[in-house]
Chain A
């Protein structure tokens, strides 16, 4: 892992009068959100957040509505001014940036895709996609050439001259995506981009994001309230509650060892066999297991291990970086599937 693309340190956002005093005050900053609201009338939407996002990673921030995740993502480019803390992008602190630097950051480094698209109703698809390029002063030919490429990339070829209100929700979000991609930023921020879409379109769009990530390898920060979306897209997932980090890790970590009851509740309905890897169910190698039994890597998803285990008459060995760490058998797989059903 190279040096992180974005690192957030001690980030606070407190809404309300006198909010800027709260992060510095050890007594007040220790209060829970409800107590803080009672005492000061201020609402801490982001509380002392710390995390790093690596280059090329898809980092998902997940939480229920009101957990502060949309505020957090807006603090990264100061669309909402953070109260205190620092946001380092490529080693430079966004909080110290002047108006011009901040504008450059927004124009070239980080662009954003919004829940309600935020398209300009008076502009065509082509002009919406090229809007960011126009803003930073690209010549007409250049920006149209680039926009045509992008429009093709997001699958809107043939719709260049349509207006946003002539498109379906899914297509409008493709325009939003195109607009974010057109400026060729290092990082794309997604604020619940697909929660206004119906489930089938949402699935298509998720596949689209996965495809684009594979093709372009951009860093992505993705905010969602949908756990299955988070598990599907995220290399790592940060779960927020009341403005604070509850747990941060891979999907596998969250489901396999939830940090507290809140997360456990959250992940209880996840089909564990689809998410967990073999390392969570590996038993010590039993006495009778033959040495030439089939071997699977510890990073294999449990569901993917089923054919091998079924076709083998003996337990299957699990290896991690060349070392045998244990074995699995039919019982261990069935018990994972059963535990999901019981929880549901």
Chain B
């Protein structure tokens, strides 16, 4: 007892010295709170003034000059040297490759417009490739999926999409793998490339379509180029990572034997990085599929166009039918590339059930069958074009349409009242708070908040972003998009914490949820809109729900990983000192997973922003609407381009602010103080 009492005195002096950082923390909260109060008071007295609203059909001078630029490009395309010697040949080259694959799998450019190797040949060849790079199971899946596309009446569309994905992946790998290897070998290259990749990945898919269409015209070429830009970062990053993460002792051992740089690359780095590189190819392929479907907005042929047309005419049945194809195609591409990455694992050879020679014989034999089927497809019409009478597409379309109608009429009470309650209760008030506050007040509040979170530097970045948005003439639309994004992100974070904690605490829940989340992440952004269109109709609300569903998996996974990464010793200590599960969650797990939570919020925001913009297709207003309208009406081209830029700057702003919030302030204060002691 006496020792306990004696010990108490130093403990208290310890408390006093700890108080200093607390004060600093509360200063941050103070500024944030102060900014909030100023905002609310300002809103009460000044709302409705200086809102910078710009009606949908009106343009600013900037938009008009962008329109003129568009016209200038159109008229000078033929004789400007930059176009003559750079863009036009590039476009022709990409087009040639794309048309090659389109000709083989989808439709030849002449005659009956049948695919060169027919549907039967396509199914056979692709299944054989799946078998060769993966295994029999994924080959069967490939065959089943492509036959099902035929049954849906969408074989040609699916083949178009597939051909574009293959073209884009080919170009991406041609550029991405060498770049990744360079970045892995030379630290200096990595230093230059990394920020560029970071920037590319925070851009919503949508925004570079318009500028690319301006340069490369609409059609397959610009779709492929947009896809390459979008899909390149994962393979570059993962290749570089694989090359760089060779265990130090293995590398040293190889050096000690006198390897040259090339020998090291060929015998050590590339073989050991193979699995990581194939994982990069997997991610790149999924990203490519996502982008190729969205590129339908700039007239890329394929399933995306079917979905977009259906979304625009609110034809839920057709959208679901085509959406189903996209999902299936995504599953096939994911499974085949995942199987390929397993095969690429070092030592995968020895776990094989059949010997190498048997495998080669089997491959050669099946290749003969494939060639026979291709030949058959080139001679028999039934094997060239998918038989029309085997078409269950219309049945799916009408079935889904009536189901959707039934849902909308019978669940009317539930869906509509839920929608209206959220729209009127949360969305509208928050949106008007943002749009009706005078812009100067809101800019001041946001910059102040940025200062509290990240100091002068962040405040400067934020102020610049906001200034650009104002200059672009799209302040009010940006605030509409911001409102939707913030509401959706809030919901995403609630979901992320609930499911993430559940997954982090129980491996059973984790095993149950993870495959679903993985599947959710591989789906193209687009298809999320479809089911909610069926439930809630074409409104802003639908877009926000789709954004939430699209962003939730990544937020949940990051949170779950953060919680699962807490050392078991800490957990044991917490439990052994008698904490209740609730106390463990709130006092240990969530505070320790703080960084992960902030990262989850950051990623959630980026995903939601991308989706809220795509949601313009089903009635979300704001910047997304301006972008889509810019594609459709040439008089709105400039405004659409400006809106794309505004999205970029909004994205940068949100990204930087959440990243600053993620940096741990307590530790900063302590380390800043320590030299003084």
A-side interface residues toward B, CB under 8 Å? 74, 77, 79, 102-107, 111-112, 114-122, 131-132, 134-136, 163, 165, 176, 179, 183, 189
Beyond A106-B258, A111-B257, 11 extra complex contacts between A and B, CB < 8 Å:
A103-B258, A106-B256, A112-B256, A118-B253, A120-B267, A120-B271, A120-B272, A122-B347, A134-B267, A135-B263, A179-B257
Interface readout for B115-142 with A: 1 if CB under 8 Å, 0 if not?
Answer: 0000000000000000000000000000
Chain B 242-265 interface residues, beta-carbon cutoff 8 Å to A: 247, 249-260, 263
Is the beta-carbon distance between B257 and A131 smaller than 8 angstroms?
Answer: yes
Bound-state Cα–Cα, A117 to B267, Å: 17
Is the beta-carbon distance between A118 and B350 smaller than 8 angstroms?
Answer: no
Bound-state Cα–Cα, A79 to B593, Å: 40
Q: Quick check: is B346 within 8 A (CB to CB) of the other chain? A: yes
Chain B 332-368 interface residues, beta-carbon cutoff 8 Å to A: 346-347, 350
Bound-state Cα–Cα, A107 to B260, Å: 11
Bound-state Cα–Cα, A189 to B252, Å: 13
Is the beta-carbon distance between B258 and A119 smaller than 8 angstroms?
Answer: no
Kindly identify which residue among B253, B268, B346 contacts A114, using a CB–CB cutoff of 8 Å.
B253
Bound-state Cα–Cα, A112 to B259, Å: 13
Q: Which residue of A lies closest to B350 (CB)?
A: A163
Is the beta-carbon distance between A118 and B250 smaller than 8 angstroms?
Answer: yes
The distance from the CB of B432 to the nearest CB of chain A, in whole angstroms, is: 57
Given known A116-B249, A135-B267, contact A121–B256 (CB-CB < 8 A): no
Bound-state Cα–Cα, A230 to B202, Å: 58
Is the beta-carbon distance between A132 and B257 smaller than 8 angstroms?
Answer: yes
Q: Which residue of B lies closest to A132 (CB)?
A: B257
Q: Which residue of A lies closest to B345 (CB)?
A: A122
Is the beta-carbon distance between B268 and A120 smaller than 8 angstroms?
Answer: yes
Is the beta-carbon distance between B257 and A107 smaller than 8 angstroms?
Answer: yes
Is the beta-carbon distance between A135 and B346 smaller than 8 angstroms?
Answer: no
Is the beta-carbon distance between A122 and B250 smaller than 8 angstroms?
Answer: no
The distance from the CB of A182 to the nearest CB of chain B, in whole angstroms, is: 9
Is the beta-carbon distance between A104 and B350 smaller than 8 angstroms?
Answer: no
Given known A132-B257, A135-B267, A136-B258, contact A117–B249 (CB-CB < 8 A): yes
Bound-state Cα–Cα, A116 to B247, Å: 10
Given known A122-B347, A165-B347, contact A114–B258 (CB-CB < 8 A): no
Chain B residue contacts of A118, Cβ below 8 A: 247, 249-254
Is the beta-carbon distance between A135 and B249 smaller than 8 angstroms?
Answer: no
| 7 residue pairs A–B, Cβ–Cβ below 8 Å | A77-B256, A79-B256, A118-B252, A118-B253, A118-B254, A131-B254, A135-B259
The distance from the CB of B252 to the nearest CB of chain A, in whole angstroms, is: 6
Chain B residue contacts of A105, Cβ below 8 A: 258
* Most-contacted residue by chain B among A112, A165, A176 (CB, 10 A): A112
Q: Which residue of B lies closest to A162 (CB)?
A: B350
Q: Which residue of A lies closest to B348 (CB)?
A: A122
Bound-state Cα–Cα, A74 to B247, Å: 17
Chain A residue contacts of B350, Cβ below 8 A: 163
Q: Which residue of B lies closest to A127 (CB)?
A: B267
Is the beta-carbon distance between A183 and B347 smaller than 8 angstroms?
Answer: no
Bound-state Cα–Cα, A131 to B259, Å: 10
Q: Which residue of B lies closest to A108 (CB)?
A: B258
Q: Which residue of B lies closest to A115 (CB)?
A: B249
Bound-state Cα–Cα, A106 to B350, Å: 32
Bound-state Cα–Cα, A119 to B251, Å: 9
Bound-state Cα–Cα, A263 to B250, Å: 34
Given known A117-B249, A121-B272, A122-B271, contact A111–B256 (CB-CB < 8 A): yes
